[in-house]
Amino acid sequence: MESTIRNSVELKATLRTYLELAKLRIVLLLLFTTLTAMVIAADGVPQLAVLLPTLVGGALAAAGSSTINQYIDRDMDAKMARTARRPIPSGRISPLHALAVGVTHLTASVLILGLFVNWLSAGLAFVGGMYYVVVYTILLKRNTTMNIVIGGGAGAIPVLVGWSAVTGSLSIEAFILFAIVFYWTPPHSWALAILVNTDYARAGVPMMPVARGEKSTRWQILLYSVLLFVVSLLPSLIGMLSWIYLVASVGLGLGLIYMSIRLIQVATKSMARSTYKYSTFYLAFLFMAMILDVLIL
How many domains in the chain? 2
- Do 179 and 283 have their domain in common? yes
- Do 189 and 294 have their domain in common? yes
Give CA 24 to chain center in angstroms. Answer: 11
**pLDDT tens sequence across 143-179:** 998 899 888 899 999 999 999 999 999 999 999 999 9
- Do 155 and 59 have their domain in common? yes
pLDDT surpasses 80 at 127: yes
**pLDDT tens sequence across 64-89:** 999 999 999 999 999 998 899 999 99
176 assigned to some structural domain? yes
Note the pLDDT of residue 5: 59
pLDDT surpasses 80 at 251: yes
- Do 60 and 98 have their domain in common? yes
Note the pLDDT of residue 64: 97
pLDDT surpasses 60 at 51: yes
Note the pLDDT of residue 2: 56
11 assigned to some structural domain? no
| Mean pLDDT within 259-275 | 96
State the pLDDT confidence band at 111, using cuts at 50, 70 and 90: very high
- Do 265 and 145 have their domain in common? no
Note the pLDDT of residue 11: 73
pTM over the 0.85 mark:
yes
- Do 162 and 190 have their domain in common? no
Q: Which domain holds residue 158?
A: 16-169
- Do 68 and 137 have their domain in common? yes
